[in-house]
Each structure stands twice: as structure tokens, then as C-alpha cells.
Amino acid sequence: MRWTFACAATAAALLVTSATHIPARAEAPGEVNIYSYRQPYLIEPLLEEFSAETGIKTNVIFAEKGLIERIQAEGRNSPADLLLTTDIGNLSQAVASGISQPVTSATIDESIPASYRGTDDEWIGLTRRARVVYASKDRVEQNSITYEELADPKWRGKICIRSGQHPYNVALVASMIAHLGPDETETWLRGVKANLARKPAGNDRLQVKGVYAGECDLAIGNTYYMGKMLTDEDHPEQKEWAESVKMLFPNTNGRGTHVNVSGVVLAKNAPNKDNALKLIEFLASDTGQNMYAEVNHEYPTKDGVPWSDLVESWGTFKADPISLNEIAELRKAASEMIDKVGFDDGPSS
């Protein structure tokens, strides 16, 4: 598959497979047009397998931002059949923006639990990732932790985290509001802020690097980054970062660890709706879910699909059973709270 062109509309890299452009309306049978927030290397193997099994060609545009707005602007003439997204924030935004339609499929209903689907099946969760604590093997003795404990003064100056306004952290704070209520969550968030080693910055991998470098003892990140650091041949130094930490699943002895999803939305004006449904069903099938698990080091959303050996080595955990639809409803309140406490200003503000 080739990823070939850039889109000025989103000021982000755009990549296309199997064509130099996506036509305004796909006329030839056997195609599906995908707009993707998921990076190419994460989805390319699955799309190649889908095409091999079905003969359906996949045309893909990738961008880091702006795809939802682009589909809105394209309106009825949008060539988009599917939107692949990275978290519940983008999924809920896509639905709220009016670019989606319900996925009507008995196969999907049987494969994906309701807690990982939109209220009206207007988004479908395809993979799970837990928001965990990466703890220094050398400096942290305990082997269990809770999210609440991250506000304990014993961790003063010892926590690294990316921006509070990143969708992964907004969803985490939203889950805390769901469980603790707004007042207690605000107190907790101020406590976590006071315990930061520095201003929030960088991505999840760089938080683990902070632990490796001794800048902090705990880092907050998604599980699949561990897999990427351990297997990234282009950045072998990251294996050392990963091997310096142990993964702690917060609250696994209680309500469970916060879990987010990547997922897919069926575009409202999908010109190749039947093929789009076939692709969603493939991604939710045993084959698709196994490939996600092996290639991307993520947890399947379909029950009964085994984890990869690497993911299995991290240990079992209890997932918070709260519906992501509830998390989505609380994201606005969470984002406002993050700004209210000045989280991204760092610990001394």
C-alpha cells in the first residue's frame, strides 16, 4: 500500500492508498473509502488482509486532525465511507457533529459488547487500551495502585503525564467524575497536579522516558505504548525505557482500570455503504480482532479473542465496566475542570 499525498485543509499529513485521489463518488464496485485518525502502520496490515479476503479495494486518507470537520464540509458529496478514530472523544465528536449513521448489523451486535458501542450504534469500538501507571522498577516497591492514590503527597514531584487536555486524559478525568462526583474529582485533580514532576508535555512514550531518566517515578500512559516501545526497531533506545518500568493497573482490585477504545464511524453519506459494513464486520471478526491484538498490542473488544503473548505477559486486570457513553457525556465537564485547576501549568502554579 502506498501513502502519497498531503492535504492543506487540515495542515496535517494525508496519505492515500491504491489511488492518487479519492473520487467525489466512487463509481467502480469493490471499493471502500476510509478517513483515518489511526496511523497508517497500525491499520495497513488489517486492510491488506481485508482486501485479500474480499477483493474490495481500500482507499485511505490519514490525518492527525480535521477529518471530522472535512466530512462536515464535504456534506452529501463526501466520498468518506468510514472514519477510523483513536478514542471515545473523537467518536462522540463525530456523532455530535452529525456525520455518522447507525450501524445495523446482527454480526456487530453479537461481536461487540454494548458498553463498547454507541447508544444507537453510531460508533463501534474495535480495540481497547487501559490507562495505566508505569512505575520505576528500581524506585517503586509497591505492585498495586489506585488512581485516587496519585493525589497522595507521598508522590510529590514524582509523576509525569502528558497534557491534561489530551483526549486520553480528558476521558480519564471524566471517568473519575463518574465515580467520585465533581467536587471530589476536583480535589483529586489538584492533588495530582501538585505531585507532578514538571509541566505536562510530550506523548505517552516520553512519560516513560522520564521515569527511565529519573525525572519521575510514575508515568501515566496507555498500555499499547509498552508494546510499541519494546518492538520499535526504528527506535531501539525505547526498549530500555520500557524495560525500566513495571505496569500497574489502577483499581484492578476495586472498580477496575479505566479503559478507552479506538473505533469506527459509518459516514452519514457513505457512497459504498455495503462495503463499509463488510469492513466493519471484518475488523470486529475473530481475524480482525486477532490482528489488532498481535500487530498493535491492543486488547480486543470482542469477547473470547485471545490477547497476544506480549500483552498477556503484562498480567490480567479488571476493566472498569462503566459505559463509554457515560464517559463521553462527561468529557466537557472534565475538560473544563482541567482548565479550572490549571493542570497544564504544572505543579508550582
pLDDT digits (tens, 9 = 90+) for 264-283: 999 999 999 999 999 999 99
The residues, ordered by sequence, that sit 6+ positions from 242 with a Cβ below 8 Å of its Cβ are: 208, 226, 229, 230
The verdict on residue 21 lying in a domain is no
pLDDT tens-digit map of 4-16: 323 333 333 333 3
CATH number, domain containing residue 45: 3.40.190.10
Q: What is the pLDDT of residue 254?
A: 96
Q: How far is CA 24 from CA 140, 262, 287, in A?
A: 56, 27, 31
Same domain, yes or no, for 153 and 302?
no
The verdict on residue 10 lying in a domain is no
Same domain, yes or no, for 229 and 83?
no
Same domain, yes or no, for 70 and 110?
yes
Same domain, yes or no, for 245 and 340?
yes
CB 117 within 8 A of CB 125: yes
pLDDT tens-digit map of 36-82: 998 887 889 999 999 999 999 999 999 989 999 999 999 999 999 99
Same domain, yes or no, for 266 and 321?
no
Average pLDDT, the chain: 91
Q: What is the pLDDT of residue 349?
A: 60
User: Residues marked as binding?
Assistant: 224-225
User: Residues marked as binding for Fe cation?
Assistant: 224-225
Same domain, yes or no, for 183 and 264?
no
CB 77 within 8 A of CB 24: yes
Same domain, yes or no, for 291 and 340?
no
CB 207 within 8 A of CB 162: yes
Same domain, yes or no, for 57 and 199?
no
The verdict on residue 289 lying in a domain is yes
CB 196 within 8 A of CB 164: no
The verdict on residue 40 lying in a domain is yes
Q: What is the pLDDT of residue 171?
A: 96
Express as a percent the part of the chain with pLDDT over 70: 91
Task: For residue 100, give the H/E element and its range.
Answer: strand 100-101
Beta bridge partners of 259: 130
Q: What is the pLDDT of residue 348?
A: 82
The verdict on residue 335 lying in a domain is yes
Same domain, yes or no, for 166 and 102?
no
Q: What is the pLDDT of residue 86?
A: 87
Q: What is the pLDDT of residue 16?
A: 39
Res. 342: pLDDT tops 70: yes
Summarize the confidence of residues 305-311 as an average pLDDT: 93
Same domain, yes or no, for 241 and 288?
no
The verdict on residue 341 lying in a domain is yes
Same domain, yes or no, for 223 and 331?
yes
The verdict on residue 19 lying in a domain is no
The verdict on residue 120 lying in a domain is yes
CB 252 within 8 A of CB 116: no
Which range marks the domain in which residue 236 is found? 128-257+317-345
* Number of domains making up the chain: 2
- Closest to 262 (Cα-Cα) out of 89, 72, 66: 89
pLDDT tens-digit map of 153-184: 999 999 999 999 999 999 999 999 999 999 99
Same domain, yes or no, for 200 and 275?
no
